[in-house]
């Protein structure tokens, strides 16, 4: 039951039919059996609301299955304590044929952002080959959004399993990059929160310390969707010494905020400089060619604003000698685009030269 898809046409049509039947029953009974008609009206109202909500859900593809709607994980999970025990286990290692998802609380001593739980997908080989190290993909969520969106709507665990089966196992890390679901941080350092510092100086060092990663720029990937796509692009270009590959799904090429740049950065004397330093559309043309960067841009053809930005930034970055791919696909600004875009983008991005500790011995 939990795997039942709730955003398909047949499911929505079924809900709508039940709602119509409820209203029909209410119409038939209300004249002569008013008390009996009341339950029909209540049920019909709830079914109508459910149908409307599922239509919106289907438009964005946000909660595809019953498990997602009720908040139950539809992916394998493991405690981080068991993950750490894998490295020192002398007995039989626990097997996860499709990999598993765990969580880790990462404090923000350098950023002051506070402690937040990150969601982490670990490939099957992480559990069966304790000497092996893996590249890391940092998944930056959009706004509104949260780390779990990658696993519910974008099916990141399934993408991770697919990568592993194709010989490209990777650790996928989805950190919190805002204070709440509606908070639009743009992943910058602002007076109320220092998200850039949190990711670069708190999250990445903690992940490299606690997990068996390949801690080199060539083996780090920043990926993001929508506002998170801007995050991946801007932070990746600003920290080319940390990361070599960017996967930007429908992201803009400049910061956006409902309150404008003052709403984003606050009333600061150096506001113009802050904006310029976080606006790839402005600074991309002056970036040095070294170190080289790999950028995958992916967008729906109907997503006109994001597509215009991605075409512009693709020209600017390719002009700097960077390796740039712009992939267009049917669809708009939603998860029906981002699910296959994540799969294709990471298949291109994740390196295959995985190294084990034994290989370095």
pLDDT at 91 over 60: no
Taking residues 121-150, what's their average pLDDT?
95
pLDDT at 360 over 50: no
pLDDT band for position 357 (cuts 50, 70, 90)? very low
**For 96-112, how does the pLDDT look when each residue is reduced to its tens digit (9 = 90+)?**
999 999 999 999 999 99
Which sign, positive or negative, has the C-alpha torsion 343, 255, 111, 317? Answer: positive
Higher pLDDT, 356 or 114: 114
Distance CA 11, CA 97 (A): 31
**For 165-182, how does the pLDDT look when each residue is reduced to its tens digit (9 = 90+)?**
999 999 999 999 999 888
Per DSSP, the three-state class of 216 is coil
pLDDT band for position 95 (cuts 50, 70, 90)? confident
Residue 58 host element (H or E): helix 34-60
The rounded percent of the chain whose pLDDT value lies above 90 is 70
Q: What integer pLDDT is reported at residue 19 of this predicted model?
A: 82
Q: Are 290 and 240 in contact (CB under 8 A)?
A: no
pLDDT at 72 over 90: no
pLDDT at 158 over 50: yes
Residue 193 host element (H or E): strand 193-194
Distance CA 307, CA 299 (A): 6
Q: What integer pLDDT is reported at residue 353 of this predicted model?
A: 58
CATH superfamily of 80-360: Alpha/Beta hydrolase fold, catalytic domain (3.40.50.1820)
Length of the chain: 361
Which sign, positive or negative, has the C-alpha torsion 98, 101, 102, 106? Answer: positive
Distance CA 352, CA 88 (A): 26
Q: What integer pLDDT is reported at residue 151 of this predicted model?
A: 96
Taking residues 86-103, what's their average pLDDT?
78
Structure tokens at 128: 């069966």
Span of 88-97, 234-243, 250-259 with lowest mean pLDDT: 88-97
pLDDT band for position 84 (cuts 50, 70, 90)? confident
Q: What integer pLDDT is reported at residue 67 of this predicted model?
A: 67
pLDDT band for position 115 (cuts 50, 70, 90)? very high
Give the residue from 166, 334, 185 showing the smallest Cα distance to 257: 185
Taking residues 128-135, what's their average pLDDT?
93
Q: What is the pTM of this model?
A: 0.88
Q: Are 327 and 348 in contact (CB under 8 A)?
A: no
């Amino acid at each position: 039951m939990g795997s039942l898809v709730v955003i398909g046409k047949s499911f929505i049509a079924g809900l709508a039919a039940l709602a119509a039947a409820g209203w029909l029953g209410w119409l038939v009974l209300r004249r002569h059996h008013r008390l009996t008609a009341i339950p029909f009206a209540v049920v019909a109202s709830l079914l109508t609301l459910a149908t409307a909500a599922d239509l919106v859900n289907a438009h964005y593809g946000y909660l595809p299955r019953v498990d997602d709607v009720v908040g139950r994980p539809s992916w394998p999970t493991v405690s981080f304590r068991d993950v750490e025990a894998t490295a020192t286990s002398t007995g039989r290692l626990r097997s996860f044929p499709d990999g598993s998802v765990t969580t880790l609380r990462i404090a923000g001593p350098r950023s002051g952002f506070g402690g937040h739980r990150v969601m982490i997908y670990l490939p099957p080989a992480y559990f069966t080959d304790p000497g092996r190290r893996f590249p890391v993909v940092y998944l930056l969520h959009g706004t509104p959004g949260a780390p779990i969106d990658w696993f519910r709507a974008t099916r990141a665990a399934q993408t991770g399993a697919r990568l592993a089966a194709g010989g490209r196992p990777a650790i996928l890390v989805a950190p919190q990059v805002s204070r709440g679901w509606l908070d639009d941080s743009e992943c910058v350092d602002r007076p109320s929160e220092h998200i850039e510092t949190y990711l670069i100086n708190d999250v990445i060092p903690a992940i490299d310390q606690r997990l068996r990663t390949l801690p080199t720029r060539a083996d780090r990937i920043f990926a993001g969707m929508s506002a998170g796509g801007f995050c991946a692009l801007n932070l990746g270009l600003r920290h080319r010494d940390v990361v070599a590959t960017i996967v930007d799904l429908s992201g803009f090429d400049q910061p956006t905020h409902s309150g404008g740049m003052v709403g984003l950065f606050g009333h600061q004397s150096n506001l113009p400089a802050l904006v310029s330093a976080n606006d790839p559309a402005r600074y991309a043309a002056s970036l040095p060619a070294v170190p080289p960067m790999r950028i995958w841009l992916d967008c729906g053809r109907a997503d006109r604003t994001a597509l215009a930005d991605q075409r512009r930034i693709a020209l600017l970055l390719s002009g700097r000698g960077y390796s740039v791919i712009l992939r267009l696909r049917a669809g708009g600004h939603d998860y029906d685009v981002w699910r296959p875009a994540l799969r294709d983008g990471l298949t291109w991005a994740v390196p295959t030269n995985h190294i084990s500790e034994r290989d370095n011995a």
